[in-house]
């Protein structure tokens, strides 16, 4: 189980605006490139995106489906990345004074990632989440340069 939190120096509506913008997905999700809509109107339940996942020089196909949406408080995604399988990623958004507390909770669901899940895997997810939450904060706060 990999759970991580981060305080973003903007109100929850600003965080939701970024999370609900499919064109900004690759700006804050670590390792994703070339994002494009697959089905539906993001972030409606059942809508999906496809993209390329880069792990060093290796490239894999990836996709994300919205499984639950409660604007502006919660977004739950099922993420599929070959060759690891699928994972549930829940993003909770809560007011924190004038700022926002964002909590990411990720669990493997299917495939090799679920079968091989262990403490080392969770430690790697923690590193990825730290980077992803920092990137999300930079995008929301306007301090991250726009992609080329």
pLDDT per residue over 18-72, tens digit each?
A: 999 999 999 999 888 889 999 999 999 999 999 998 878 888 899 999 999 999 9
Distance CA 67, CA 43 (A): 9
> The domain spanning residue 69 has which CATH number?
3.30.530.20
Task: Return the closest-CA partner of residue 82 out of 102, 54, 62.
Answer: 62
Domain contains 148: no
Lowest mean pLDDT among 6-10, 13-17, 39-43, 105-109: 105-109
Can you give the residue range of the structural domain that contains 64? 2-141
Distance CA 7, CA 102 (A): 6
Domain contains 147: no
Domain contains 125: yes
- Structure confidence by residue, pLDDT tens digits, 66-123: 999 999 999 999 999 877 889 999 999 999 999 999 999 988 888 877 777 777 777 7
pLDDT at 146: 64
Number of domains in the chain: 1
Please tell me whether the peptide bond between 83 and the residue prior to it is cis, using omega within 30 degrees of 0: yes
Under a CB-based contact definition with an 8 Å cutoff, are residues 69 and 75 in contact? yes
Domain contains 50: yes
Task: Return the closest-CA partner of residue 103 out of 2, 1, 5.
Answer: 5
pTM, full prediction: 0.89
* Higher-confidence position of 75 and 148: 75
pLDDT at 133 over 60: yes
Q: ∠ CA(7), CA(62), CA(90), 5° rounding?
A: 35
| H runs (alpha helix) in 29-118 | 112-115
Domain contains 87: yes
């Amino acid at each position: 189980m990999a759970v991580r939190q981060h305080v973003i120096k903007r109100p929850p509506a600003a965080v939701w605006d970024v999370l609900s913008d499919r064109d900004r997905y690759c700006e804050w999700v670590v390792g994703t490139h070339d994002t494009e809509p697959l089905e539906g109107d993001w972030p409606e339940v059942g809508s999906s995106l496809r993209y390329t996942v880069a792990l060093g020089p290796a490239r894999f196909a990836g996709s994300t489906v919205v499984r639950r949406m409660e604007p502006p408080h919660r977004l739950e995604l099922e993420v599929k990345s070959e060759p690891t399988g699928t994972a549930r990623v829940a993003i909770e958004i809560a007011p924190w004074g004038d700022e926002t507390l964002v909590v990411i909770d990720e669990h493997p669901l299917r495939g090799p990632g679920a079968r091989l899940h262990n403490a080392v895997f969770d430690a790697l997810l923690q590193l990825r989440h730290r980077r992803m939450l920092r990137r999300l904060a930079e995008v929301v706060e306007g301090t991250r340069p726009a992609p080329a």
